[in-house]
Amino acid sequence: MNWFRRTKKNLLETEKKNIPDGLWIKCPSCSEILYKPELDKTLSVCRHCGHHFRVRPQVYLDLLLDEGTANELNPELKSRNPLGFKEGRNYSDQLKKAAKKTGANEAVRCFQGLLDSIPVALGVMDFGFIGGSMGSVVGEKVARLTAYATENHCPLILICASGGARMQEGALSLMQMAKTSAYLAKYSEEGGLYIPILTDPTSGGVTASYGMLGDVILAEPGAFIGFAGPRVIKQTIGQDLPKGFQRSEFLLDKGFVDHIVTRKDLKPTLAKIIRHLHGT
Ligand SMILES: [Zn+2]
């Protein structure tokens, strides 16, 4: 009477194993369990609480530029290991691993294309590439993109996502703050319109340079935006930090951010701002 006997052992476990990995994801804000294909349809925004998950540059690219108009600028630029940096593992190996993981050569990808039929220069940072850290190539690519926008008199949009300067490149990475700021100053003198979009997280050297130099600064809801982390600040000032400190909404309240935009509204909002301020 075989049908009365359980022929397979650990049936429950076997069933569990049959669920493909990565199909379900827990929202860190509201703890709802979300179905990944559904989440992709909502641009990785939780439909229960509006939590904005971190996404790959391709999502912003597809979202913002009109179909078939994107041309990538300088995708071949790669970081070297100028200081021969080695801390636990070799920096060159880290770069190779990050390139393999993300399919890109650096933590920022730059494009020219059309946004709602308006020619724009667009840079998108990738937090998945060594924490979106700003090394000499990220700085160079942002500088070149700014130069492109200056020459072509088009609006410049930069989606920021970064843990800060790339410590593996030491002072060379810190210099990128001055370099990108100088290019942006020239662009501004020539009447350029620069709009950074701060996503989770925007911190360190990026906040201290091109993240905060926009004519209009936009942010995604709930993004961490700051220079030093809250733990460091708390230790330094010896006081508890206010609720919501270093989040988009807090920065909007204090005047560091001009507007908080949900992901699905990014394109129409950008088009509206550009048409008002750039006269396109
Ligand atoms: Zn949620």
**Per-residue pLDDT tens digits for 141-199:** 999 999 999 999 999 999 999 999 999 999 999 999 999 999 999 999 999 999 999 99
- Give the pLDDT band of residue 13 (cuts 50, 70, 90): very low
Q: Please tell me the distance between residue 29's alpha carbon and the centre of ligand 1 in angstroms.
A: 5
- Each residue of 48-99: pLDDT tens digit? 999 999 999 999 999 999 999 999 999 999 998 888 888 778 999 999 999 9
Average pLDDT, integer, range 26-38: 95
- Lookup: tokens for 73: 């600028």
Q: Please tell me the distance between residue 233's alpha carbon and the centre of ligand 1 in angstroms.
A: 28
Q: Please tell me the distance between residue 49's alpha carbon and the centre of ligand 1 in angstroms.
A: 4
Distance in angstroms (rounded) separating the CA atoms of residues 75 and 72? 6
pTM, two decimal places: 0.90
Distance in angstroms (rounded) separating the CA atoms of residues 71 and 120? 11
Q: Please tell me the distance between residue 145's alpha carbon and the centre of ligand 1 in angstroms.
A: 35
Tokens 């010896």 label which residue? 238
Q: Please tell me the distance between residue 266's alpha carbon and the centre of ligand 1 in angstroms.
A: 20
Q: Please tell me the distance between residue 176's alpha carbon and the centre of ligand 1 in angstroms.
A: 36
- Ranges 18-22, 73-77, 122-126, 222-226: which has the least confidence: 18-22
| CATH 3.90.226.10 boundaries in the chain | 54-277
The one-letter code for the residue type at 278 is H
Give me the CATH topology for the region 54-277: 2-enoyl-CoA Hydratase; Chain A, domain 1 (3.90.226)
pLDDT at 84: 84
- Ranges 85-94, 117-126, 252-261: which has the least confidence: 85-94
Q: Please tell me the distance between residue 51's alpha carbon and the centre of ligand 1 in angstroms.
A: 5
Check whether 231 has a pLDDT greater than 70. Answer: yes
Q: Please tell me the distance between residue 223's alpha carbon and the centre of ligand 1 in angstroms.
A: 14
